Chain A
Amino acid sequence: MGKLIKIYFINTLKLNEFSRGPNRMKMRGFFVMMLFVSAAMLFSIGSYSYFMGSALMAIGALDILPAVFMTVTSVIVLISVLFTTKGILFGFKDFDIQMSLPISTGKIVAGRIVILYIYELTYTLLIMLPSLAVYAYLAKPDALFYLLALISVILIPVIPIIIGAFFGMLLALIASRFRKTNAVRIIVLLLFTLAIMALSFSMNNNISPEAAGIVESLMDSLAAKYPPVRLFSMGIGGDIAAFVAFVVISVLLFLLFSLFVGKYFKKLNAVVTAVFTRRNFKLTEVRTSSAQAALFYKEIKTYFNSALYVLNTAFGMIILLIASAALLIIGLDKVVELLKVPISSDQIAPILPLGVSLIVCMSSTSCSSISMEGKKFWIIRTLPVSSSQVFIAKMGVNLTVTVPVVCLSALVFSLVLKPSSDIALFMFILPFVYCLFISALGLIINLFSPKLEWKNEAAVIKQSAAVMLTMVAGFIASGIPLYFMITLESNMVLPVTTLAVAALTALCYVYLFTFGGKKLAALG
């Protein structure tokens, strides 16, 4: 089993390239960048924990801090597993090779579960370590806390992995019965994620305003949604019985889960990887279209046929759509009441153009569009199409996903919030300019940081350097003006930002259509 896991990580993380081969310097650079990103994440979560912890300490509710972060971690692990079960646990590319080796199925299954666990443990440590360090700094617990917390943290991903994998399998089983497998996956995953979000929002209800009861009240609210959080919290607080119960339950569930997966491994794999075929095609009239339209159609199909791609890039747009619909149907007062954020139309309207732009910047499909070609890259390399045509098709997908939603939300916001005419104008123009900007910027970043060798598309859509860099760049490009808009409250922020981003966008397009072709030709 150890060998299988070792081989998996050597291959997936390209560890050999790290120490030898022509790309070793690039790999080392990537490693340094990942270290930097991890350090930045640890610092951000630590800072956030510190502010939250200080606020909670002021009302005598500091003990709730680890429980809050444990719940957040569990939700992240659950959603992550839901997306990656197919690919890591089932339907992985080297299934046939592994099953043909003289290794017991039990060991192969255990290996896959451990791989899944290692991934999720990484997320868990990134979130839990800084938050628990802050808690320890503020609460100054005794030495036993460190031991209990360390063991508990290692076990945090277990239960969400089991729940996520269970739903992941169920989803794959349901989806495999439909011809439009991916459409089913997109809808179910979206509904599931929205349900989790709705559950999180509803957590604010029924919390006692009394300081003395706030810890219990918050704990009741968290434990009602995710019962293990109480055991975890009590356990690291020194309650040995609760700690033992948390450990035993996690380990027992892990063993049961492993046995279940082991027993049905081959059957589940067969069902999950089954494809719907008809074998009854009859040639009728074949329609024709231009090369540009064909490229665009191919890109759109690639995009919408990947549930992971859609949900990772269009989630912000879907939330924006839901927010617009909510605003239109139930009005601002009711939305404000539901979200418990006291804000008026006059306050929110000037921020919205940049708020929507921030969501646009988090919705780049183009930053992974070249990497998504993967081993199919030979096709566009050998077709008689120019690099400009390829770029237009790839950016076209980004614009198709963002522009209609941006226009619709701007229309709804303008109608419902009734802002001044200039603000209303910026509600349309600024997010639109950002749509053009992020489409081109994402593509340029992907040209400089492509990842064409991959087995699981999650490696490109969720974990590639291009995606992370584009998100950071997009966040800076929209977050800084948003910060100025909130703090300065100046009328000049919107026009200046529009002009600046338009200029940057023009530069991006000039670069793409003059030098981008050479860069594309040099790939692969």
Chain B
Amino acid sequence: MLKIQNYSKTYKNGKRAVDNLTLEIRPGDICGFIGHNGAGKTTTLRAVAGALDFDTGDILIDRISIKADPLACKKVMAYIPDNPELYENLTGIQFIKFIGDVYGVSKSDRQTGISKYGDAFELTPNLGDLISSYSHGMKQKLTVISALIHKPKLLLLDEPFVGLDPKAAFTLKQIIAELCAEGSAVFFSTHVLETAEKLCNRIAIIKEGRLVAEGDMETIKGDTSLEHVFLELTDNG
């Protein structure tokens, strides 16, 4: 579903944020992406989402290069940033409608999706209010709902559990598991290693822009915990 091939990104100031990263995520995978602050997680996720140009390598989504046909790639995925800045002057329902229209979601799918996810995240009563009145967590929930209504084959999330209340975090984990059971893939960054350990079947660890470990969760952590492996690789590796 997602193939990152020798991806590198250097910013204008000369800083190499990501260096020659190669990674593959198959349909049904839940892949956690972990690393210190500034390691290159967001830079990678933004490039996959098509929000950031990159210098070398390629990123294939559903076997299509994001460089060659960005629209086709974007059609099948959804991106949820860590701090979702939304159109504050739209109401929640207008934002979902906007996303639904852009992705060409049918009326019935839209109705079902809004109803299902709106209720699951307890946001339905607030959908008629302006986004400017939403808290950080509510904006996060709205972004998740709008991402889910078009049933993405690849869901990209940057620190998805930050700002969500415990119930919403639990709901999101369930939905992620459901999505993957239906054949979608999920790639998300997190600092919460326990969540990654419980939720993911795949893990990728990045340090200073370089991938230092990648593979099945069980193989990577072996008999120890993910936290132990992570600290071992990032502090001593």
Interface centre among A290, A294, A376, A382 (most CB of B within 10 A): A382
**B87 touching A298, Cβ below 8 Å:** yes
User: Is B56's beta carbon under 8 Å from chain A?
Assistant: no
Q: Is A143 an interface residue (CB 8 A)?
A: no
| A287, B110: Cα distance in complex, Å | 9
B124, A281: Cβ atoms under 8 Å?
A: yes
Contacts of A140 on B, CB cut-off 8 Å? none
Distance from B27 Cβ to chain A, minimum over Cβ atoms (Å): 20
Q: Name the interface residues of A253-298: CB closer than 8 Å to any CB of B.
A: 275-283, 285-291, 293-295, 297-298
Bound-state Cα–Cα, A381 to B126, Å: 27
Which of B16-24, B28-36, B99-107, B171-179 has 4 or more CB atoms under 8 Å from chain A? B99-107
Binary A-proximity of B73-106 (CB < 8 A = 1, otherwise 0): 0110001010001110110111001111111111
Q: Establish whether residues B102 and A283, one from each chain, have CB atoms under 8 Å apart when the complex forms.
A: no
| B81 / chain A contacts, CB cutoff of 8 Å | 378
With A and B bound together, what is the CA distance between A408 and B11 in angstroms?
50
A378 near B89 with CB under 8 A, answer no
Residues of B within 8 A of A23 (CB): 12
Is A193's CB within 8 Å of the partner chain B? Answer: no
Which of chain A's residues have a CB closer than 8 A to the CB of B126? 277, 279, 281
Contact with B along A180-192 (1 / 0, CB 8 A): 0010000000000
Most chain A CB inside 10 Å of its own CB: which residue of B50, B102, B110, B115: B102
User: Are A381 and B85 in contact (CB-based, < 8 A)?
Assistant: no
C-alpha gap A23/B11 in the complex (Å): 12
Interface 9-residue window, one of A110-118, A301-309, A396-404, A488-496: A301-309
**Stretch binding the partner chain, chosen from B128-136, B161-169, B188-196, B225-233:** B128-136
A97 interface residue per 8 A CB criterion: no
User: Which B residues are CB-close (under 8 A) to A285?
Assistant: 107, 111
Our pick among A278, A281, A302, A524 for the contact of B89 (Cβ within 8 Å) is: A302
Q: Does A375 sit within 8 A of B, measured CB to CB?
A: yes
Given contacts A22-B11, A286-B114, A383-B74, contact A294 B97 (CB under 8 A): yes
A298 to B91 CA separation, bound complex (whole angstroms): 11
Q: Does B49 contact A (CB under 8 A)?
A: yes
In the complex, chain A residues whose CB is within 8 Å of the CB of B68: none
Please name all residues of chain B whose beta carbon is closer than 8 Å to the beta carbon of A281 when the two chains form the complex: 92-93, 124-129
B224 at the A interface (CB under 8 A): no
Chain B: interface residue total (CB-CB under 8 A): 48
Query: Known contacts being A294-B101, A374-B85, is A283 close to B90, with CB within 8 Å?
Result: no
Kindly count the residue-residue contacts between A and B in the assembled complex, taking CB atoms under 8 Å apart: 119
CB of A301 within 8 A of CB of B90, answer yes
Contact B50 A382 (CB under 8 A): yes
Contact call A298/B90, Cβ cutoff below 8 A: yes
Q: How many Å lie between the Cα of A305 and that of B89 in the bound state?
A: 6
Contacts of B125 in A (CB 8 A): 279-281
User: Quick one: CB contact mask for B205-232 with A, threshold 8 Å, 1 for yes?
Assistant: 0000000000000000000000000000
B182 sits at the interface (CB 8 A) = no
B97 cross-chain contacts in A, Cβ below 8 A: 286-288, 294
Complex Cα distance, B102 from A374, in Å, reads 20
Q: Which residues of A contact B92 (CB under 8 A)?
A: 281
Asked whether B118 is an interface residue with its Cβ less than 8 Å from the other chain, the reply is yes
Q: Which residues of B contact A374 (CB under 8 A)?
A: 85
Interchain nearest-CB distance for B114 vs A (Å): 6
The answer to whether the Cβ of A522 comes within 8 Å of any Cβ in the partner chain is yes
Q: Does B51 contact A (CB under 8 A)?
A: yes
**CB atoms of A286 and B74 under 8 A apart:** no
Once the chains bind, are A276 and B110 in contact (CB under 8 Å)?
Answer: no
Describe A's contact surface by its main secondary structure. loop
> Residue of A at shortest CB range from B96?
A286
Query: With A279-B126, A294-B102, A298-B90 known to touch, is A382 a contact of B49 (CB < 8 Å)?
Result: yes
Is the pair B87, A301 in contact by a Cβ cutoff of 8 Å? yes
A-chain residues with CB within 8 Å of residue B98 when the two chains form the complex: 294, 297-298
Bound state CA distance, A288 and B105, in angstroms? 8
Interface residue A379 (Cβ < 8 Å from any Cβ of B): yes
Pairwise interchain contact A375-B85, C-beta atoms closer than 8 A: yes
CA–CA, A382 and B143, complex, Å? 13
Residues from chain A with a CB closer than 8 A to the CB of B124 are 281-283
Give CA–CA (A295, B98) in the complex, Å: 7
Complex: A376 Cα to B100 Cα, angstroms:
18
Q: Which residue in A282, A288, A376, A378 is a CB contact (below 8 Å) of B101?
A: A288
Residue B13 CB within 8 A of the other chain: yes
Contact with A along B124-156 (1 / 0, CB 8 A): 111111101100000000000000000000000
Leading 6 A-B pairs by shortest Cβ distance: A281-B128, A294-B101, A305-B89, A22-B12, A384-B74, A275-B133
Interface contacts beyond A281-B129, A301-B94: sample of 5 additional A-B pairs, CB < 8 Å, sorted by A: A22-B11, A277-B126, A290-B101, A376-B86, A384-B72
Residues of A within 8 A of B (CB): 21-23, 182, 275-283, 285-291, 293-295, 297-298, 301-302, 305-306, 374-376, 378-379, 381-386, 521-522, 524
Offer 23 A-B interface pairs, CB within 8 angstroms, sorted by A.
A22-B11, A23-B12, A275-B132, A276-B133, A277-B130, A280-B128, A281-B129, A283-B93, A283-B114, A283-B115, A283-B124, A283-B127, A286-B114, A288-B97, A288-B110, A290-B101, A376-B85, A378-B46, A378-B51, A379-B86, A382-B50, A384-B71, A385-B71
Chain B positions within 8 Å of A, measured between CB atoms, are 11-13, 46, 49-53, 71-72, 74-75, 79, 81, 85-87, 89-90, 92-94, 97-107, 110-111, 114-115, 118, 124-130, 132-133
